[in-house]
Amino acid sequence: MQIFDVAVIGGGPSGASAAITLANFGYGVLLVDRAVFPRDKLCGDFINPVNWPILQELNVSQDVLARQHAEVRKFRLTASNGTEVATALPMRGAQKFGLGLRRYYLDHLLIERAKRDGVRVVEGARVKRLCKNAEGWVLQFERAGEPVSHRARIIVGADGRNSWVARRLGVASVERSRRGSVGFAVQLRKIHGLDGSLEIHQFPGGYAGLVRVDTETVNLCFTVERSCLPQSVSFEALRNFQLNKNPFLRAELVDTETCGDLRSVSPVYFPPRKCFGDGFLLVGDAARVTEPVTGEGIYLALRSGQLAGKTIDGALHRKDTTSNCLSPYQGACRQEFRKRFRLNYLARVLASRPSLLSCLIRFSAKRKHLLDSMVQSVCALDSGADR
């Protein structure tokens, strides 16, 4: 049984970011994930330009650019009634563009960076038990059918929106609503348009995001209200009964071919949950699940991992891992993400109200500075952000 300073459960962007940050502070870090990387993950596959400073701090920006990707320099928004508006992404900093990049590549390169920085990464391991004692935590997991146990002073839960860690620690309910929306994603080929743009298309009962991830492939990620789902759920059925209700999206999906399975996730939206306690923190989707309509999911994950790492560094320096010493993490997240959460809430409201969205689009077409200002808020760091 090895003893680590921190054990991170979950190897997505938030978990990897926390692990890399802590390893660079000099701590012994264990990262456990049930998957074996690389692996696919349902996602919008868009890396917002706001991520570049973080990717540089994590020393993966050049690795990201070395993977297959597509540059994104424009944003387009359409409504089902035929209105549309478009604008350029803000051009600031060294990298003046966003990226369409599969999570298959992003998550893998983050895990590889964690390994190079000294994190002990265990893949293909399912956590079975967490036990707390006076010295910290005993983490028990199973790998290749064999039980393994390690100890850690602090646990970081980074295992997604349906977090086992959050349920195990009593900060999340296991109940799921039968209402709400279901998220879907599929890779497409032979698609029209998308010349360097990220596109959001609203349709009755949901919205869809499109971004090219290489010269031949486009990622389509969309949500549909449960009440609007067809009796038999397939991509063809969803396209015919929902996606085609937006004329712009219908035109782009003509003659397209899927090049992978249709994946789904539910529920899409969760209420906020407590993300700290005695000896533990939650990061990314495990902490405060949000479905960012504005394409900020990767940023929220990576940045929350960094903020968790800084909070844990302070706690370990003080030799105090109690809830009081870890609570500043939640405050730091609220302060840094407050404006983004408000903007995403507004975007979700507009997506569910076509008439309001159409009014916004028409207004933005006449007063372009409004849309430019909103895109700037999404794609650039706040002036007061603590780097």
The pTM assigned to this predicted structure is 0.93
The answer to whether position 92 is within a domain reads yes
pLDDT at residue 64 greater than cutoff 90: yes
Domains: count for the chain: 1
Predicted confidence (pLDDT) per residue in 122-168, tens digit: 999 999 999 999 889 999 999 888 899 999 999 999 999 889 999 99
- Winning range, highest mean pLDDT, from 73-82, 89-98, 188-197: 73-82
Whether the pLDDT of residue 93 is over 90: the answer is no
Q: Is residue 181 part of a domain?
A: no
Does 249 map to a domain?
A: no
Domain hosting 7: range is: 3-175+269-379
Q: What burial letters (b/e) apply to 350-384, b meaning 16+ CB within 10 Å?
A: bbbebeebbebbeebeeeeeebbebbebbbbbeee
Work out the average pLDDT over 259-288.
89
Beta strands 98-100 and 46-47: pairing type? Answer: antiparallel
304 within some domain: yes
Query: Is 47 a domain residue?
Result: yes
Evaluate whether residue 227 is within a structural domain. no
Binning pLDDT at 50, 70 and 90, where does residue 342 land?
confident
Query: Beta 146-157 vs 280-282: how paired, if at all?
Result: parallel
Give pLDDT, residue 186. Answer: 96
Residue range 4-48, pLDDT digits in tens = 999 999 999 999 999 999 999 999 999 999 999 999 999 999 999
pLDDT score at 387 = 53
Residue 207 lies in a domain: no
DSSP codes of every residue in 170-182: TSS-----SSSEE
pLDDT score at 176: 54
Alpha-carbon separation of residue 53 from 20, 168, 299 (angstroms): 15, 34, 10
Residue 309 within any structural domain of the chain: yes
Q: CATH no. for residue 119?
A: 3.50.50.60
Distance CA 116, CA 379 (A): 30
Per-residue three-class SS string for 322-356: CHHHHCHHHHHHHHHHHHHHHHHHHHHHHHCCHHH
